[in-house]
Amino acid sequence: MRMYDAHNHIQQNSLRPHLLSVLDQCEQSDIVGSVVNGTCEADWDAVLALAHSRPWIVPSFGYHPWYLERASAQWCDTLKGYLDQTPAAIGEIGLDGAVTGPSLVIQEQFFLAQLEIAAKRNLPVSIHCVKAWRRLIELLSTHDLPRCGFLVHSYTGSRELITQLTKLGAYFSCPGSLLATSKAEKLAVFRTVPRDRLLIETDAPEQCLPEELERYTLRKDNVRRLNHPANLIVVYHKLAELLAIPLTELSAQVEQNFCRLFRSDGAKTPPFQN
C-alpha cells in the first residue's frame, strides 16, 4: 500500500536525534509522499535539506501565524528565493484567533502575501485555521487562489464549512489525533468530506495518536511523547473503518487526491513534475 502524508513538520529539532531512523522507518512503511511544512525562516533550510535527501519528500515553505514576530524585513524575498530553488508548496500559513499575538490584522497581511505568491505560481497551499473560519472564507472568496487548490490541514471545522471550502478548491486532511475518543464528534464531521477532497496527515511530531493506537513510539528526553510519522498507517486503517470502505479503496483515493493537489508521483518522479 502506497501512503501519503499531506502535512507534517519532521524538520523540527525535537526529531533531530531520531531523524535518520524515522526516515528509514517511513520508507519501510511504504510512505511514498510526504509534505514537510516550514513554519518560519529559521527552519526553511532544514526543510530544503530533507527534500534533497529523500525523493519522496515534498518541501513546503511558509510563515506560520504563531511565528510572525520572528520575520525579517526581507522575509517575502527570502521565501521566493526558496521557491525558486526547488519545486515546492507554500505552507504552513493561516489565521489563528486563539493566540494572544500577533494580531489577526498582522496575520492577514502575511497570509495574503503568501496566498498571492501561491496564486501567481499555481502552488498548493497548506492552511492552518483556528477560530477564524468566517474571516478565512471571506479572504479566500475575495482573492486569487492557486488553480491546483489548497489544503485545510487537520480540519476541525463544521459540516457547513466543508461545502463552502470545497467550492473554493479545498482539500481536507485528517490527523491521527482525531482518533481520540474525545474527538469523536469532530471525526464524525470529517466523515462528510467529499471523497475526492480527502487526505491524511500526521502533523508529526505534533498531534500524537491515542497512545494505545501507536505502532511506532518516540520520546523526547525519554519523557514527552512525539508523534512518529510512520504512524500514518494507523490513520489509514482507522479512517477506512470509519468510512466503511476497503483499505485499498481509501488508499487509491488518497493517492489520487494527493497527486492531484501536489502534482507528485511519490518516489518515482520528482514532486510537481508536469
Check whether 267 has a pLDDT greater than 50: no
Buried b / exposed e across 72-108, counting CB within 10 Å, b at 16+?
eeebbeebeebbeebbbbbbbbbbbeeeeebebeebb
pLDDT tens by residue, 78-102: 999 999 999 999 999 999 999 988 9
**pLDDT of res. 221:** 78
Whole-number Å distance between alpha carbons of 29 and 234: 11
Q: For the chain, what is the mean pLDDT?
A: 94
DSSP secondary structure letters along the chain: --EEEEEE-TTSGGGGGGHHHHHHHHHHTTEEEEEEEP-SHHHHHHHHHHHHH-TTEEEEE---GGGGGG--TTHHHHHHHHHHHS--EEEEEEEETTSSSS-HHHHHHHHHHHHHHHHHHT--EEEEEES-HHHHHHHHHHS---TT-EEETT--S-HHHHHHHHHHTEEEEE-GGGGSGGGHHHHHHHTTS-GGGEEE---TTSSPPPGGG-SS-EEETTTEEE--GGGHHHHHHHHHHHHTS-HHHHHHHHHHHHHHHH---TTSS-TT--
Whole-number Å distance between alpha carbons of 252 and 216: 24
pLDDT tens by residue, 173-214: 999 999 999 999 999 999 999 999 999 999 999 999 999 999
**Predicted confidence band at 263 (pLDDT cuts at 50, 70, 90)?**
confident
Name the β-bridge partners of 150: 125, 170
**pLDDT of res. 273:** 39
Average pLDDT of the segment spanning 148-155: 98
CATH fold, domain 3-262, is TIM Barrel (3.20.20)
Residue 176 makes CB contacts below 8 A (sequence gap 6+) with: 202, 207, 208, 209, 213, 227, 231, 232, 234, 235, 238
Check whether 49 has a pLDDT greater than 70: yes
Check whether 270 has a pLDDT greater than 80: no
Average pLDDT of the segment spanning 119-123: 98
**pLDDT of res. 266:** 36
Question: Checking DSSP bridges between strand 125-130 and strand 218-220, what pairing results, if any?
Answer: unpaired
**Predicted confidence band at 223 (pLDDT cuts at 50, 70, 90)?**
confident
**pLDDT of res. 179:** 96
Average pLDDT of the segment spanning 40-66: 98
Average pLDDT of the segment spanning 102-127: 98
pLDDT tens by residue, 18-39: 999 999 999 999 999 999 999 9
Check whether 141 has a pLDDT greater than 50: yes
**Predicted confidence band at 264 (pLDDT cuts at 50, 70, 90)?**
very low
Q: Looking at 6-15, 18-27, 219-228, 234-243, which range is the least confident one?
A: 219-228
**pLDDT of res. 234:** 98
pTM for the whole thing? 0.95
Average pLDDT of the segment spanning 257-268: 71
